[in-house]
Structure 1
Amino acid sequence: MSKDRIDIKDVTAKEFNPKAHKSQGDRFNPSNRIYVRASKGVFQKLRRYGAWFLLLLFALVPWIPYGERQAILLDIGQQQFNFFGTTLYPQDLTLLALLFMIAAFGLFFITTFLGRVWCGYLCPQTVWTFMYIWFEEKLEGAANKRKKQDSQPLTASLALRKTLKHLAWFTIALLTGLTFVGYFVPTNELWLDFFTLDATFWTYFWVLFFAVCTYANAGWMRSIVCIHMCPYARFQSAMFDKDTFIVGYDKKRGEDRGPRTRKANPSDLGLGDCIDCNLCVQVCPTGIDIRDGLQYECINCGACIDACDVTMDRMNYPKGLISYTTEHKLEGTHTKIMRPKLIGYGLVMVLMLGFFVMQVASVEPAGLSVIRDRTQLYRTNSDGFIENTYTLKIINKTQQTQSYNLDVSGLTDVEWYGRQTINVSPGEVFNLPISLGMDPEQLSSSVTTIQFELEDQHGFSIEVESRFIKQL
C-alpha cells in the first residue's frame, strides 16, 4: 500500500464500545435509529446557507422564462434539451457526457483536497435529511426527548405531532417531485395539470415516484443511504492521502479522556482535553465516533467540530480538539498542499472544461440531414428529365423562428421541384420533401456527388453531401 494512503479505520461491531457509544447503540444495524442532536456553529451555519442557496436555485430555475419557453427544459419526448439560448439534440449529447466527466474529475479534485465536503455540504441526501430533521425537532422535540418518547407507549398528543411531521415531510417530498419533473415537462403546465387532475399517467407516476424516494431517503433511510448504498463512501479512500483535509480528532491533546469540573486542571488528573461528553457522537448524522479515527461513514459535515468547540469554549480550553486537519498535521509533520495527484486532477479538469467550452461554442444553430427516397432511386418525368426525390430534415436549434433558403450545388441547370424558402419555429424539426430534375444529356456519370446548402437570414450556412443517380 502507498505510504501516502490513509488507512481507513474499520470500527466493526466486534469493536463496539457501549460506554463510548452509549447514546447511539449499534450503528451498524440499519434498523437502529440515529437520533441526531441539533448543533450550532460556524460550519453548521455555512452548511445551512449553502443548503438554502442550492434549494432556492433548484426550486426557481424551472420558473425562469427565456423566449417562448422556460430557460432550462430537458424535453425528452421531443428529444430537445434547452439551455437558455442553446438547444441540444441527441447528436449533441456528447456534450452531456463531457459535462459528467468534468463533474467527476471536479469531485476527485475536491475530495483529494478537502475530503468529503460534497457529502457534508452539497449532497441532496444531506440537504434534505437535515431539512427533515429540522421539522422533526420543531414538532417532536430535541433528540433526547424524541428518543424517550419513542421508547414509551404512543399517546394522542405524540400521534398528532408525528402525523403533522409526516405530513410536512411528504409535502416537501411532493414539492420536490414536482420541481424535479418540472425540468423535463413545462413547469407551468405541470403544476396546473397536476392539481386539476389533467396530467398524464406518466406525469403522476414520475412525480409520485420521486416524492416517495425523497420521503423514504430523507425521512427514514438517512444514514443508511450514506453508509450502505452510496458508492462514493466505498471508493473515497483511493483519493485520500495524508495531506487530504478531513475531520480529525487530536488524540495527543485529547487522551486520556474523562469527565471533570470546569475548574479542574486536566494535567493534575492525568487527563487530556476531551471530557468524554459524547456530543460529537450525538450530533453526527451517521452515528460515528470521530475519536475512533477516520471512518468511511464520515461525511465531513463538521457537526462534531462545532459541538466540540462549544464544549471547549465552556471549559475554557482552546478550540480545535476536533477540526478540519490532515493526517500529517495530526502526526506533527508538514501538510503539502500542492502534490502530483491534486495537480493532475486539476489539470485534467481544466483541460476538459476548456474543451467543453469550445464544443459548446461550436454548436451550430441549425441542422440539416438529407434522406434519399429508398423505394425508387430515380425516375423519368414527363419532361424527359431524370428525377431524384429527397426528404430534407431542417432543425432550428435557436429560440426564435428562422427563415432558411435552400439550394444545391454539383449540378448545372438543375430543376428544383418544391419549396426553397421555409420558416421553421424554435426547436422544430421540419421535414421538407423535394425533387431534383436533370436533363440526362448533361449527366456525364451515372452517380453524381451533390451538396445541399442551407442558409439562414443571419448568414449561417451548412452543407450536406448526397448523390444524384441517373442509373446503376
Structure 2
Amino acid sequence: MSKEIPVKQVDPSEPSDGKPKTDTIELYASRKKIYAKEVTGLFQRIRTFSLLFLLGMYFLFVWLTLDGAPLIHFDLPAREFHLYGATFYPKDFILLSGMLIIAAFGLFFITTLFGRVWCGYTCPQTVWTFIFMWVEERIEGNRNKRMKLDKAPNSAQKVFKKSAKHTIWLIISLLTGLTFIGYFYPIRELIVDIFTFQANGWAYFWVAFFTVATYLNAGWMREQVCLYMCPYARFQSVMFDPNTRIVSYDPSRGEPRGARKKSVKPEEVGLGDCIDCGQCVQVCPTGIDIRDGLQYECIGCALCIDACDEIMDKMNYPRGLIRYTTENELEGKSSKLLRPRTFGYGAVLATMIGVVVFVIATRVPGQMDALRDRGALFSFNGQGNIENSYTLKIANMTEIPQTFSLSVEGLDGIRILTDTQVTIDSGENRSLPTVVDVSPEAIPQSNNEIIFHAQSETDASLKLETESRFVGPTQ
C-alpha cells in the first residue's frame, strides 16, 4: 500500500516561522467627497416636483390656521395634538400606533414593488440634500468647477464662494429649525419671541439643535447618513425579490463596454451599447457604479437613468440601457407585479387604514366616566330616599367650550341632586362630585345598573354616556 506524502506549497514571501503574511486592513476607509453632476431628464423633473411639493407643505402648513387656531399644532405642555381641526389627546395613542403601522407597511408594500423609491423621491434626507446640492451648483458651478475650486489654493474668490454657500446653507437650516419647532410652538409667536429674546431656553436649544442637524446632515454628511446611519439601507434586501422593479443596468445589452465613434455601430466592433463614458457614476449622489449590479448604497433616485438616456440619444441608440426593471426581466423571464408578498403587505396595509379611518370617523370628541364612592355603599336622606355618591369625570376634546346637561336613567324616579349643568373648557378634564337618589320602592334589587348622560347644549351632536351601579339595601 502506497502512502501519499502531503505537500505544502511554500511562498518565499512568507516569514520563516511558517505563519502566513498578512496585510493590515482598515475597517473604515476615509470618505472621498462625491461631486455629483447635475443632470436633466424625466426622473429629475419628477424629483423636482416632489421636492418642491414636500418643501411647500413643510414650510406652508405651519402658517395655516383653522378658525383662528393652527392647522397643525402639537401642544406638549397641554398634552393636546391639533390636526386639521381635530384635537387628539394621549388617550388617543392607539391612533398613533395605527398610523405608524400604516407607515411601516406602506413602506414595505412600495418597496416590494418599486424598491427604494421612498429614498429617491420623498425621504427628508434626500429632499434637503438635493436642495443643498442645488445651492452648491448655483454658487460654485458644475462638477468640474467644484472639483477645481476645492483643489485650488485659497483665494478671495474661493473664500467668497465658500462663505456664500455656507451662509445660504445656514439660513436654510435655520428656517428648517424654526419651522419644525413652529409645529410645537405657534410659529407667529415663536418668530417674535425668538428675535426679541423672549422665548424660553428650550425653544432656543431645539431651534439650534435642528439647525445644526440640518446643516450637518444635508451639507456635510449627505450620503453618509444613507450608508451608515439609516437602517432602511440594511434591511431593504429582505423585501426585495426577483420581481421587484429597481434601477438596473442591462449587461446583456451593454457588455462588453468600450468607447467608439458615434458613427460606428456596436456590432461592428464587437461591443455592447455601453460606451463606458462614466456619466452614470458622475451623477450618482452616493458615488456607486450601477453597472456593478444592485448595491445597498443605491437610493433608487434614477439619475443614472436620465444620464444614460441622454448619452443613448446622442449615440442614436435605444434608451433603457439603465432602467427600472426586475431581475426576472433582465434574465428574459416574465415578471409579476402582484405576488403573495405583495398581497400580504397590501392586506395588512388596507386593514390598518380601514381600522384607523373607522376609529377616527366614529370617535366622539368627549369622554365621561362615573366612579362610585366606595367609602359608603348608600345612605338615606331626609326625604326617605336612598342616595349614592359618584364622581363624574368629563373630558371636552373639542376646540371650543361645551356646556353639558347631566341626567341619569335606569330606575323609576331616579334623579341627580347636585348641579345638572356644567361648562367645560376645550381640553379640560373636569371631576364633578355627584349625588343621585331614588325611592326605596323603585329599587328591584340591591345592585342595579344605571346610565349617566351628558348632552352638550353647544353641539347637539355631542352626547356622552357611561354605565355605573346603584346600590341599595337588600330586599
d(CA) in 1 for partners of 2:153 and 2:269? 44
d(CA) in 2 for partners of 1:29 and 1:67? 56
Q: Secondary structure at the match of 2:62?
A: helix
Q: Does 1:465 align with 2:467?
A: yes
Contact 1:177 1:206 in 2 (8 A): yes
d(CA) in 1 for partners of 2:335 and 2:254? 21
Q: 1:219 to 1:266 in 2, by over 3 A?
A: same
d(CA) in 2 for partners of 1:169 and 1:380? 76
Q: Which residue of 2 aligns with 1:7?
A: none
d(CA) in 1 for partners of 2:297 and 2:435? 68
Map 1:206-221; keep pairs closer than 5 Å: 206-221=206-221
d(CA) in 1 for partners of 2:216 and 2:422? 52
Q: Secondary structure at the match of 1:367?
A: strand
d(CA) in 1 for partners of 2:75 and 2:363? 18
What do residues 266-295 of structure 1 show as CA deviations (whole Å, max 9, x unaligned)? 222222111111111111011100000011
Q: Number of residue pairs matched?
A: 446
Map 1:15-414; keep pairs closer than 5 Å: 29=29, 31-371=31-371, 390-410=390-410
Contact 2:393 2:431 in 1 (8 A): yes
CA-CA distance at 1:148 after TM superposition: 2.2
Q: 1:237 to 1:68 in 2, by over 3 A?
A: same
Worse overlay, 185-194 or 278-287:
185-194
Amino acid at match of 1:326: T
CA-CA distance at 1:131 after TM superposition: 0.4
Q: Secondary structure at the match of 1:93?
A: helix
Worse overlay, 447-456 or 345-354:
447-456
Q: Which residue of 1 aligns with 2:427?
A: 428
Amino acid at match of 2:72: I
Quote the RMSD (CA, aligned, Å): 2.7
d(CA) in 1 for partners of 2:36 and 2:374? 67
Amino acid at match of 1:395: A
In structure 2, runs of 5+ residues without a counterpart are 1-25
Contact 2:305 2:322 in 1 (8 A): yes
Q: Quick one: percent identity of the two aligned structures?
A: 48
Structure with more relative contact order (C-alpha pairs < 8 Å, separation 6 or more): 1
Contact 1:416 1:434 in 2 (8 A): no
Q: 1:240 to 1:465 in 2, by over 3 A?
A: same
Contact 1:384 1:439 in 2 (8 A): no
Amino acid at match of 1:360: I
Contact 2:388 2:471 in 1 (8 A): yes
d(CA) in 1 for partners of 2:311 and 2:227? 28
Q: Secondary structure at the match of 1:465?
A: strand
In structure 1, runs of 5+ residues without a counterpart are 1-25
d(CA) in 2 for partners of 1:384 and 1:211? 71
What do residues 432-455 of structure 1 show as CA deviations (whole Å, max 9, x unaligned)? 432315489677877665433211
Q: 1:362 to 1:237 in 2, by over 3 A?
A: same
What do residues 49-71 of structure 1 show as CA deviations (whole Å, max 9, x unaligned)? 11101110111112221124112
Q: Which has the larger radius of gyration?
A: 2
d(CA) in 2 for partners of 1:346 and 1:111? 12
What do residues 102-137 of structure 1 show as CA deviations (whole Å, max 9, x unaligned)? 121111111111111110001111011000001111
- TM-score between both structures, scaled by the size of structure 2: 0.86
d(CA) in 1 for partners of 2:76 and 2:222? 31
Amino acid at match of 1:66: L
Q: 1:292 to 1:374 in 2, by over 3 A?
A: same
- TM-score between both structures, scaled by the size of structure 1: 0.86
Q: 1:103 to 1:133 in 2, by over 3 A?
A: same
CA-CA distance at 1:469 after TM superposition: 6.4
d(CA) in 2 for partners of 1:123 and 1:38? 19
d(CA) in 1 for partners of 2:173 and 2:285? 20
d(CA) in 2 for partners of 1:36 and 1:382? 88
Contact 1:378 1:387 in 2 (8 A): yes
CA-CA distance at 1:416 after TM superposition: 3.9
Map 1:446-465; keep pairs closer than 5 Å: 450-457=450-457, 458-465=460-467
Q: 1:285 to 1:334 in 2, by over 3 A?
A: same
